[in-house]
Amino acid sequence: MLFSLSFVSALFLGASAVYTPRDTAATRACLAIRVLLGPTIVETSGPEYDATAHGTWSLFNSIEQPTCIVYPRTAAHVQTAMRRIFKAEANYAVQSGAHSAMVGWNSITDGVLISTAHMKNVSYSLATDTITVQPGVHWAEIMDAVEPFGVAAIGGRASDIGTGILIGGGISFVSPLYGWSADSIKEMDVVLVNGRLVTATVNNQYSDLFKALKGGANRFGIVTRYELYSAHTGTKNDKNWYGGIINYSGAHSVAVATASANYIRDVVDPKAALIVLMNTVDTSAADANIIYLFYKGTSLPPSIFGEFLAIPSTSQTLSPLSYFEISNLIPGNGRGFGQQFGSSSLIGDNAHFQDAYSHLVNFTSSFPGQLAGAYLIISPVPKTQFDVSQARGGNAMGDVNVNYASLNYNLIYPEGVTTIPANVNTGFKLLLSQVPRTPGLPLYVNECDVSQNVFSTYTGTAYATLKNTYNKYDPSRFNVRHTVGPIGL
């Protein structure tokens, strides 16, 4: 052994008084990385370790106990960590904003967790009109830093989300105008599984990797720097949008689902933005249905939003808003509950949307007391969103030439529930099978269930291309064997 037993105990002292490390791949990797990077960067206990390991958005991921957490400050630190993880054949996970609902995708037990929490630089270059971010920033922090310049980076709708959204796709309120969040990536620095650092762009020798990382999620390497095209959305004082929030009681769920179906099919104006959240746990609640709706202009055009505006609401808060204000309306930072996502993608007649809703109602009512929240969340993905992708060289999802809805089922489990109950999980699988995607439409990997083979839904030759690219950059399939993430590669 390279390390003495006293060194092993020194490393783990404090993690737990009775903890004796086993000689596992993860302990070997942690020891080696700690020798190279030091105890400030490689932690096995303490307040920061606890905040990272036990502070994930979904409670299901916050019960993991990483063997060590590596907090790189530079890409070189990530390279050192990956080289040692690779050599030791250790399991590992990467965590940025910690918002994954998928169990095991952003933390790990008996493995190395790489947290980007100390890589938080954000800068805007007037010369290139691009925003450069390190992976540890949350969307609100990016917005705060660049808003004075009148620009924004395209992320999500909830401001607490981290940069992991970029490599899964990313739907923001302005995606109809500016594309998937991933489409705004101009350049990425990526540490491959063997520790090699490369810069990928749309037209350099790593252009295949560049495309794969725009939807390939955590399978293709660790991104240490994103250079993003900016969107000229204005400062926080430029109230060039109009809109807000409308609540409807459960009595109007059918009308809300119908209005959503019509909107998805008909609205082609990229200045329109919408998200619909339908909660089926208490359908008598005054806000059982919540919609966020915006238009880049001074009012909500009735030709676009008239059907929603005509449904009797319990409350409406509509006003002129800047994009900066819109991007801070949904914090999404609540913690302490187990979460589960599931994805479908839909176009079609109103009956399909009614089914997507009524199957959730049946599912929810079948497990009384076992769910604190059960949402059907409807996000429009208009054709214009993929037009931007194509203009930027395409992303991993392929090309879709129609307006569709990305559906996200979000289950929130009651406080104290630390694993997904088997009976609910079985029911959820049934629900997902009852609401199949419209053939040809991709599922959304950032909002899927762990059981869904999202990559296989990427359109045309996109799935085959993704698999080829994966085999090229990770020929020993190290990531798939040692990291939990999307299936199908």
Ligand X SMILES: Cc1cc2nc3c(=O)[nH]c(=O)nc-3n(C[C@H](O)[C@H](O)[C@H](O)COP(=O)(O)OP(=O)(O)OC[C@H]3O[C@@H](n4cnc5c(N)ncnc54)[C@H](O)[C@@H]3O)c2cc1C
Q: According to CB under 6 A, which one of 35, 245, 309, 450 is a site residue for ligand NAG?
A: 245
| Long-range Cβ contact pairs of 464-471 (< 8 A, separation 24 or more) | 465/208, 465/211, 465/212, 465/396, 466/212, 466/215, 466/216, 466/396, 468/208, 469/208, 469/209, 469/211, 469/212, 469/216, 469/220, 470/212, 470/216, 470/219, 470/220
Buried-exposed string 421-456: b where 16+ CB fall within 10 A, e elsewhere: eeebeebbeebbeebebeeebbbbbbbbbbebebbb
Partners of 144 in the beta sheet?
A: none
DSSP 438: P
Backbone angles phi, psi at 138, to 5 degrees: -95, 160
Site membership for ligand X, residue 158 (CB under 6 A): yes
User: Of ligand X, ligand NAG, none, which one does residue 337 interact with (CB within 5 to 8 Å by kind)?
Assistant: none
Question: Which residue sits closest to ligand X, CB atoms considered?
Answer: 97
We find the least distance from the C-beta atom of residue 471 to ligand NAG, in angstroms, to be 31
Cβ-based nearer residue to ligand NAG, 114 or 466: 114
First to last CA, the chain: 36
We find the least distance from the C-beta atom of residue 211 to ligand NAG, in angstroms, to be 25
User: Of ligand X, ligand NAG, none, which one does residue 446 interact with (CB within 5 to 8 Å by kind)?
Assistant: ligand X
Cβ-based nearer residue to ligand NAG, 125 or 418: 125
Residue of 281, 282, 288 lying closest to 255 (CA atoms): 288
User: Looking only at residues 109 through 128 of this chain, which bind ligand X when binding is defined by CB under 6 A?
Assistant: 116
Question: Which residue sits closest to ligand NAG, CB atoms considered?
Answer: 427
Site membership for ligand NAG, residue 363 (CB under 6 A): yes
Distance, C-alpha 372 to centroid of its chain: 22
Which x/- pattern, by CB under 6 A, does the window 422-441 give for ligand NAG? -----x--x-----------
Q: According to CB under 6 A, which one of 9, 40, 121, 128 is a site residue for ligand NAG?
A: 121
CA distance 52 to 54: 6
Q: According to CB under 6 A, which one of 64, 147, 189, 447 is a site residue for ligand X?
A: 447
Residue entry with tokens 């409406």:
316
Which residues of this protein are in contact with ligand X, per CB under 6 A?
A: 57, 93-100, 105-106, 116, 135, 156-158, 161-165, 167-168, 170-171, 217-218, 222-223, 332, 446-447, 485
Interface residues with ligand NAG (CB under 6 A) are 121, 245, 247, 286-287, 290, 314-315, 362-363, 366, 427, 430
